[in-house]
């Protein structure tokens, strides 16, 4: 008998393996925020107000570099654009729910929650309670993210600068991006964005990241138009794009 | 004060991106072209962070062998590509950075 409760617990269980990778990410965010001279209480609340790991890391660094607020918000927008894809893909399943449920699940719609929830929605099991599974996965991630941020904020004070722990941010992104590069267009987007980012590193107002990301996206689309992906990938695109190895909340 | 406004702004745009398609899908559909563009957001954004981090470590372009972050980053990229393991990538990259910093 599938109940809301059993679905909730199944969602929590499905999320557990992913949490292993989330804990160090939260620690790194806490440490990075301290390095950027963000007050601990603000950094801690950022994890529940924003609740999107990579944009929080990037935002913390921009704030530390005294970027204007508008640029920080605009960069967050670009970095989190991919969530529109997830939102579009779960929308049909959430249609029958009350607005309060829609708002709550939208807030919990991270890379990791999406990664385990969408296969469950697609799965063969019939259940009117699948939104409870989503909630279980989402809340498991949410509480882990808050706790590991807090741990990073406590731990970060003890760690000496000579350990170069800021480098873990770049390494985390390397670990996410390389496995996800599957086709020519994706590689082109990554190379173009990276190249422009180096050239534009001196741009005023920390605009370099946004400009580089936009150039990368355009180049990716151009290469895709020149060398269309095999039909299998196009079909996958039409359906639901998986989070492609993304590891960030 | 400004900091809190920035954090609130970041939260608002993130939540809007997550919520609006769920609320509006009955009326609007995201065009295929836009969906295709969104697929390139993660590789483009993340590379735009990684490249300057490795090639521009101290406020100037540094392609020399003394650039320990570039060397450690390349090794980490190799590990990421072969193992698809984020934790191992971080461990190898940090280990390499510490060793290189000690000997160079």
Q: How far is B66 from chain A (nearest CA, A)?
A: 16
Residue A48 shares a structural domain with residue A134: yes
**What is the residue range of A39's domain?**
4-162
Band of residue A21 on the pLDDT scale cut at 50, 70, 90:
confident
- Contact flag A189-B43 (C-beta cutoff 8 Å): yes
What's the pLDDT at A205?
65
What residue of A is the nearest CA neighbor of B54?
A170
Domain final residue pick, A162, A192, A209: A162
Global confidence as pTM: 0.80
Q: Is residue A172 part of a domain?
A: no
Residue A60 shares a structural domain with residue A135: yes
pLDDT at residue A81 is higher than 60: yes
In this predicted model, which residue has the larger pLDDT, A160 or A171?
A171
Q: Is residue A244 part of a domain?
A: no
Residue A116 shares a structural domain with residue A220: no
Q: Which long-range contacts (CB under 8 A, 24 or more apart) does B29-35 make?
A: B30/A84, B30/A85, B30/A88, B32/A238, B33/A221, B35/A85, B35/A88, B35/A237, B35/A241
Q: Is residue A195 part of a domain?
A: yes
Number of structural domains (chain A) is 2
Segment holding A229, helix H or strand E: none
Q: How far is A1 from chain B (nearest CA, A)?
A: 29
Q: Is residue A94 part of a domain?
A: yes
Quick one: average pLDDT of B22-29?
78
Band of residue B92 on the pLDDT scale cut at 50, 70, 90:
very high
Q: Is residue A248 part of a domain?
A: no
What residue of B is the nearest CA neighbor of A207?
B48
What's the pLDDT at A230?
62
- Contact flag B51-A195 (C-beta cutoff 8 Å): yes
Residue A185 shares a structural domain with residue A155: no
Going by the DSSP 8-state scheme, the letter that residue A165 receives in this structure is: T
Q: Is residue A90 part of a domain?
A: yes
Residue A209 shares a structural domain with residue A139: no
ipTM here: 0.86
pLDDT at residue B76 is higher than 90: yes
Share of chain A above pLDDT 70, in %: 91
Domain final residue pick, A130, A162, A194: A162
Band of residue A19 on the pLDDT scale cut at 50, 70, 90:
confident
């Amino acid at each position: 008998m599938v109940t809301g409760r059993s679905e909730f617990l199944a969602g929590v269980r499905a999320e557990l393996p992913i949490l292993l990778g989330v804990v160090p990410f939260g620690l790194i965010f806490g440490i990075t925020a301290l390095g950027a001279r963000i007050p601990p209480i603000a950094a801690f609340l950022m994890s529940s107000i924003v609740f999107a790991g990579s944009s929080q890391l990037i935002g913390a660094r921009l704030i530390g570099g005294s970027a204007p607020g508008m640029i920080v918000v605009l960069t967050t927008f670009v970095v989190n654009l991919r969530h529109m894809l997830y939102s579009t893909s779960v929308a049909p399943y959430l249609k029958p729910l009350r607005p309060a449920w829609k708002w709550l699940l939208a807030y919990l719609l991270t890379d990791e929650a999406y990664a385990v929830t969408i296969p469950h929605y697609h799965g063969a099991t019939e259940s009117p309670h699948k939104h409870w599974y989503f909630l279980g996965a989402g809340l498991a991630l949410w509480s882990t993210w808050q706790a590991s941020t807090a741990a990073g904020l406590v731990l970060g004070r003890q760690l000496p600068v000579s350990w170069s722990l800021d480098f873990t941010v770049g390494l985390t992104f390397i670990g996410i991006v390389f496995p996800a590069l599957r086709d020519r267009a994706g590689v082109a987007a990554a190379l173009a964005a990276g190249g422009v980012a180096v050239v534009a590193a001196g741009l005023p107002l920390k605009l370099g990241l946004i400009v580089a990301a936009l150039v990368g996206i355009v180049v990716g689309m151009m290469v895709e138009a020149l060398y269309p992906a095999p039909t299998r990938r196009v079909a996958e695109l039409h359906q639901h794009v998986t989070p492609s190895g993304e590891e960030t909340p | 004060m400004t900091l809190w406004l920035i954090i609130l702004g970041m939260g608002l745009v993130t939540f809007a991106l997550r919520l609006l398609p769920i609320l509006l899908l009955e009326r609007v559909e995201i065009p295929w072209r836009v969906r295709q563009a969104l697929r390139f957001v993660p590789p483009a954004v993340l590379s735009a962070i990684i490249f300057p981090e490795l090639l521009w470590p101290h406020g100037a372009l540094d392609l020399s062998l003394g650039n320990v972050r570039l060397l450690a980053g390349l090794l980490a990229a190799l590990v990421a590509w072969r193992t698809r393991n984020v934790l191992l990538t971080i461990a190898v990259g940090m280990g390499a950075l510490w060793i290189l910093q000690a000997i160079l």
